[in-house]
């Protein structure tokens, strides 16, 4: 397979709306990239450190995956983006010939820096990880590598250079990612800084990169505040970013999150591509699609798999009071049926719940891999179902089949 990936093929990035719903902001679209076309709405799976944990890439492809995401932050620290570039880019490195999305690295720096921003964004808890962020200036963010302790200053320009080295198809401007508990004033100042950083990112890729081919998304900040979101959106609309990534704090509750996402998406140029950063529960996806979000990324489907949780429709759970199928549960000890009778994934075609339960009890890593295959396949099936429903403009009608389930 390696030799196939060395081919040179370029195509201008282009987002195309195939069908606009008449009932909501939902739309069916196509994202054309040098590494193929993504049918949207789509889910982007996290290959954080250049791999989806435990899975040979064939299983990622075989489960219907269109696009994966790697983290500039982790790859910058190890093995280094220069090394990946010298090896032919990230596609070749991890042997994936489809589209790749990378983030700017900013999120992880601030997440590790402040504790856990991720939890805060979702309004859950304040983490207590070791803080590695040293200083944020107008120029960029200084932090210590979690690998060897060396001092690194990440600037918008460096983030672009890293993402250009990696040669991802969709890339993200560096922003300051603020936690929920900060003041409106801090949020406003931070949003202004993120605008300046996005502008520097745009300048950098136009000067040194292939702007037409690597789509740079502007991160939309502003927390839960309408006026700040409006200002951030206006800035992005006024510049020639090919798309947008909604980031920053989305509030304390699910309901507040849906409102902030809908409000923000509504402020953005309807013709351009919109990504929602780091959110991907099944209900969240339905709400996001209704608001006009085209792609989602989230570690949940594979992370929960490693802890033994399988994504299934509510009606497939024997105990309706449960929210997920936790295969650690002794209810599955002697259950020789597949995770889902209706699922055509490799895992469901090959193994039983009892077998996976055994692997979990025996602490065998294969358990996480097998459930990941199922969860990836299931998320792709969900997105495919959503696209089919949008063809008929009947999103709400199919929602009850999937909705209110397990994430």
For residue 309, the minimal CB distance to a copy of itself (Å) is 18
Instruction: Single out the segment in contact with a copy of itself by CB under 8 A; choices: 77-85, 216-224, 237-245, 258-266.
Output: 77-85
Q: Is 333 in the site for a copy of itself (CB under 8 A)?
A: yes
Respond yes or no: is residue 297 known to be catalytic.
yes
Nearer to a copy of itself, 23 or 88 (CB): 88
Question: Is 18 a binder of a copy of itself (CB under 8 A)?
Answer: no
User: CA 328, CA 309: separation in Å to the nearest integer?
Assistant: 8
Question: Facing residues of 217 across strands?
Answer: 172, 243
Catalytic residue of the set 175, 284, 294, 297: 297
Q: Which is nearer to a copy of itself, 33 or 71 (CB)?
A: 71
Which residue's structure tokens are 């939902």? 26
Assess contact for 272 and 242: CB atoms under 8 A. Answer: yes
Under the criterion CB under 8 A, does residue 123 sit at the interface with a copy of itself? no
CA 60/CA 57 separation, integer angstroms: 5
Instruction: Tell whether residue 140 is a contact of a copy of itself (CB under 8 A).
Output: no
Does 330 bind a copy of itself (CB under 8 A)? Our answer is no
Task: Mark the segment that binds a copy of itself (CB under 8 A) among 51-59, 102-110, 127-135, 388-396.
Answer: 51-59
**# of chain residues touching a copy of itself (CB under 8 A):** 44
Longest dimension (CA), the chain: 62
Which of residues 221 and 340 has its CB atom nearest to a copy of itself in the complex?
340
Is residue 87 at the binding interface for a copy of itself, with CB under 8 A as the rule? yes
Q: Which stretch binds a copy of itself (CB under 8 A): 10-18, 72-80, 195-203, 243-251?
A: 72-80
- The one segment of 14-22, 73-81, 290-298, 391-399 that binds a copy of itself by CB under 8 A: 73-81
In the complex with a copy of itself, the residue whose CB is nearer, 141 or 370, is: 370
> Does 401 qualify as catalytic in the annotation?
no
Instruction: Tell me how far, at minimum, the Cβ of 187 lies from a copy of itself, in Å.
Output: 34
Which residues are catalytic, by number?
A: 103, 297
Q: Contact residues for a copy of itself (CB under 8 A)?
A: 1-2, 49-51, 53-59, 74, 78-79, 83, 86-88, 93-95, 333-334, 336, 338, 346, 349-352, 354-355, 357-359, 361-362, 364-366, 369-370, 373
């Amino acid at each position: 397979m390696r030799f196939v990936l060395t081919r040179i093929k370029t195509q201008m990035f282009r987002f195309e709306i195939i069908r606009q719903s008449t009932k909501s902001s939902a739309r069916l679209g196509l994202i054309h990239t040098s590494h193929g076309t993504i049918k949207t709405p789509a889910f982007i799976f996290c290959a954080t450190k250049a791999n989806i944990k435990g899975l040979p890439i064939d299983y990622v492809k075989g489960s219907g995956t269109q696009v994966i995401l790697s983290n500039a932050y982790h790859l910058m620290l190890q093995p280094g983006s220069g090394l990946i570039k010298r090896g032919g880019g990230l596609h070749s490195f991890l042997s994936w010939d489809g589209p790749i999305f990378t983030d700017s690295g900013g999120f992880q720096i601030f997440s590790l820096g402040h504790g856990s921003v991720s939890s805060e964004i979702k309004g859950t808890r304040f983490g207590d990880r070791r803080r590695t962020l040293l200083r944020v200036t107008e120029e960029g963010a200084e932090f210590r590598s979690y690998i060897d302790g060396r001092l690194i200053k990440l600037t918008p320009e460096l983030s672009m250079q890293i993402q250009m080295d990696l040669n991802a198809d969709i890339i993200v401007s560096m922003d300051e990612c603020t936690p929920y508990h900060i003041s409106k004033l801090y949020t406003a100042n931070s949003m202004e800084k993120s605008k300046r950083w996005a502008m520097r990112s745009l300048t950098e890729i136009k000067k040194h990169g292939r702007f037409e081919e690597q789509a740079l998304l502007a991160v939309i900040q502003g927390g839960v505040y309408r006026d700040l979101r409006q200002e951030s959106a206006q800035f992005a609309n006024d510049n020639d970013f090919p798309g947008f990534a909604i980031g920053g704090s989305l509030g304390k509750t699910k309901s507040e999150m849906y409102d902030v996402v809908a409000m923000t998406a509504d402020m953005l140029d309807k013709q351009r591509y919109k990504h929602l950063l780091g959110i991907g529960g099944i209900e969240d996806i339905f709400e996001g699609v209704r608001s006009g979000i085209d792609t989602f990324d989230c570690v949940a489907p594979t992370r929960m798999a490693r802890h033994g949780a399988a994504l299934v429709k509510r009606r497939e759970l024997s105990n309706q009071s449960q929210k997920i199928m936790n295969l650690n549960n002794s209810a599955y000890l002697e259950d020789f049926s597949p995770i889902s009778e209706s699922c055509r994934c490799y895992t469901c075609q090959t193994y039983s719940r009892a077998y996976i339960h055994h692997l979990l009890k025996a602490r065998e890593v294969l358990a996480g891999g097998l459930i990941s295959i199922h969860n990836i396949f299931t998320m792709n099936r969900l997105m495919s179902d959503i696209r089919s429903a949008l063809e008929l403009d009947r999103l709400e009608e199919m929602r009850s089949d999937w909705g209110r389930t397990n994430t």
